[in-house]
Amino acid sequence: MKGGEKVSKLEVPKSITSLVFEPKEIGGMVIKNRLVRSATTEGMASEDGSVTDKLVELYKILAEGGVGLIITGYAYVQPSGKALPRQTGIYRDDLIPGWRKIAETVHEHGDGCKVAMQLVHCGRQSWSLEETMAPSVVFEPVVNKMPREMTVEEIEETIEAFAEAARRAKEAGFDAVQLHAAHGYLLSQFLSPYTNRRTDEYGGSTENRIKIVEDIYKRTVEKVGKDFPIMIKMNVDDFLEGGINLNESRKIAERLSKIGFAAIETSGGMDETATRSIDLVASRTKIRSKDKEAYFLPYAREVKKVIDIPLILVGGIRSLDVIEKILAEGSADFAALCRPLIREPDLPNRWLKGIGGLTADCISCNACLGSLVEGGVRCIQKEITEQESAG
Ligand SMILES: Cc1cc2nc3c(=O)[nH]c(=O)nc-3n(C[C@H](O)[C@H](O)[C@H](O)COP(=O)(O)O)c2cc1C
Ligand code: SF4
């Protein structure tokens, strides 16, 4: 809702909300509705990645807003995996108490809301580090860095670091974790033939490129048990010459579903994709009409056919009736929202109560990306609108 605008009571036909607000399980974890907060890095942690009061407050507001599952912004599992200043980390045991405050706050204020921690290693896509490492030596043009190739010993350390991070998330009271294997970060770099040119057991065939993810899954289960849901976010297409395309992402998704992952979130693009076309990145702009919404839906439909675990769809989803239609046709089990919940953290409750319009207020301008390095994530567009209406 725009500032000062009169709130209208919307007649929401039952057909539009019957599935959206229906509970569904992910790996034994009951999610009260089909709305997921897609991972959104916050830019609010201390320099060592520890949780601040500002972060706890952000998650309290999100939990109160009615979303069914919150996935945190990506937390780095090793200092060598840090992408951004003021990014959260989960690489040491003494970071657990801060994270516990977030888990407890969500559970206390969220009326059944569940919370998962997203785990990441940035690989070649780091703004924070001078030196980066990656599966192979492939120049990264956005951060303007040449990574060095990881040794097998370093790969082994990273597998252990992901598993240890998941163990810490569980100890902190989180309901689940999600591996970030999308958007060109380290696991995405291993999956992609564009960034993975290795000739050892971690490169080459699709199976070999999946190996690091499979090893992390197995090591994590050893530490957290089979009942703790481990989800994964992956690319349906890298939108880069020589990268993952739909044909291959279907094979990857099928394998991940068989390995035991609890859910797959389908996204697309790497940072480098922006050098090819800004219209192909994960957070696309100009989503101003319903036909532009859910831009990964055609891919998700194909992935859904080969997996037997829940599919979380993300990318430009803005309207309640669009979500209901996607759920009804069986193309996805959950709809994940990032930017709409930056602007309106209470959007799920607004829809549930039938207040305002069916479409989120977010205009997909991406000005919020700039706020990550200027005090923490927020809707800059909303601030501009409020300043204009006040002045
Ligand atoms: C400010 C901002 C921070 C983001 N942080 C993350 C993140 O930490 N992990 C991740 O997987 N995706 C991240 N994304 C991508 C979103 O999760 C999502 O995939 C993308 O924005 C498309 O969804 P939307 O149209 O609902 O925003 C971020 C996007 C934005 C705009
Ligand atoms: S700045 Fe606000 S309106 Fe623009 S994309 Fe971000 S959340 Fe949406």
Residues touching ligand 1 (Cβ under 6 Å) are: 38-41, 73-74, 118, 180, 182-183, 233, 267, 282-283, 314-317, 337-340, 368-369, 372, 377
Which residue puts its alpha carbon closest to atom 14 of ligand 1? 40
Residue 120 has pLDDT above 80, yes or no: yes
Q: Please list, in sequence order, all residues whose beta carbon lies within 8 angstroms of the beta carbon of residue 53, skipping any fewer than 6 positions away.
A: none
- H helices present in the chain, as ranges: 14-17, 53-64, 96-109, 152-171, 186-191, 206-224, 246-259, 273-276, 297-304, 320-328, 339-343, 347-353, 368-371, 380-390
Secondary structure in 3-state letters for 46-71? CCCCCCCHHHHHHHHHHHHCCCCEEE
pLDDT for the residue 35: 98
pLDDT on residue 387:
87
Q: Which ligand is nearest to the CA of 234?
A: 1
DSSP β-ladder status, 24-26 and 29-31: antiparallel
CB atoms within 10 A of CB 4: 9
Dist. CA 186–CA 312, nearest whole Å: 21
User: Which tokens hold the place of 81?
Assistant: 């995996």
- Band the pLDDT of 14: cuts 50, 70, 90: low
358 CA to middle of ligand 2, Å? 17
* Tokens describing residue 282: 């994960």
Give the model's confidence band at 389: pLDDT under 50 very low, under 70 low, under 90 confident, else very high.
confident
Q: Which ligand is nearest to the CA of 381?
A: 2
Q: Which atom of ligand 1 is nearest to the CA of 372?
A: 1
30 CA to centre of ligand 2 in angstroms: 30
Q: Which ligand is nearest to the CA of 293?
A: 1
Q: At 198, which amino acid appears?
A: R
How do residues 50-94 score in pLDDT, each as one tens digit?
999 999 999 999 999 999 999 999 999 999 999 999 999 999 999
Burial (CB < 10 A; 0-12, 13-18, 19+), residue 203, is middle
- The amino acid at residue 236 is V
- Taking only the tens place, the pLDDT of each residue in 253-301 is 999 999 999 999 999 999 999 999 989 999 999 998 999 999 999 999 9
Q: Residue 10: what pLDDT?
A: 53
> What spacing in Å lies between the alpha carbon of 96 and ligand 1's midpoint?
24
Task: Please give the positions annotated as active site.
Answer: 185
Return the residue whose CA atom lies nearest to atom 4 of ligand 2: 365
**Torsion angle of alpha carbons 77, 81, 83, 84, nearest 10°?**
60
Q: For all residues of the chain together, what is the average pLDDT?
A: 95
CA angle, residues 176, 179, 185, in degrees to nearest 5: 155
Residue minimizing CA distance to atom 2 of ligand 2: 379
> Is 11's pLDDT higher than 90?
no
Domains and CATH numbers, the chain: 14-390 (3.20.20.70)
> What number of other Cβ atoms are within 10 A of residue 263's Cβ?
28
